[in-house]
Structure 1
Amino acid sequence: MPFVVDASIVGAWLLPDEENALADETLARMADDDALAPDLLIHEIRSILLSAERRGRISSDLIYSGLARLRALPLQLSGPGDDSEVVRLSRGYQLSAYDAAYLALAVLEQLELATLDRKLAAAARKEGVKVLGPIAHGD
């Protein structure tokens, strides 16, 4: 079954000091199921990698290799999302427009959401979206 993946999951795949079982399971699941994300994922991952470099967590070489690994993933990137839905979700749950775009995609396509973001997961559950992983039930 297809699912939506957010930047917290992809960041955990790419940053060597953020090993995470859900991220690993989600990556493995992509061998069988389609994974979707708004195209803003690319910009968010660039930002995550640059921040990690500034903090000394990764070398500059890992920025480019991380971006290459991201582009090699079988991800289906969608456009910026439906404006009305993104604004509604952002306002309703005090989410950033970025996070609301992932949720809007999951809501509109009726897909599960893989995230490590507790606030986004809580909003997804309230919208009737199944959340994958350890925070699936508010844990």
Structure 2
Amino acid sequence: MLRRSGLQALQALLELARHGQQWSSVSAIATAQELPAPMLEQLLLQLRRAELVESRRGRQGGYRLSRAPEAIPVAEVLDAVGAPLQLSEGPAEGSDGRAETQVLQSMGQRLQNAIERELKQLTLQELLFDLESWKEYLSNEGGLMLG
């Protein structure tokens, strides 16, 4: 359902979101998220072209979010790296002329539309909240799972 490039782009952006307006190098992001640096660099270039991140060269450079995490919908991230969430395709429309086929195709389209609506509303900020909640829950001290 979700392509690897989409997952990795979201991982990278969550790492940047955790650091606020600080610049983060490709190697720091790759290490923190256990991602291959060359692939990550390509994803970050795509995200920069989509104006989701900004970059700065030099010793104190790197990448950071170009907008606040609450202003970045997940759908936009997935689109930026060419990894929109898609349900698996069924038979071609009207392929066998059966009413059952039409009903199931209609259901599939309704589900796809619902997924697209949700991804347009779900923001990086919400994922960051979930991430921090899970980290707290999984820590040695336990904690309360929120959200």
Q: TM-score, normalised by structure 2?
A: 0.29
Q: TM-score, normalised by structure 1?
A: 0.30
Larger strand fraction of residues: 1
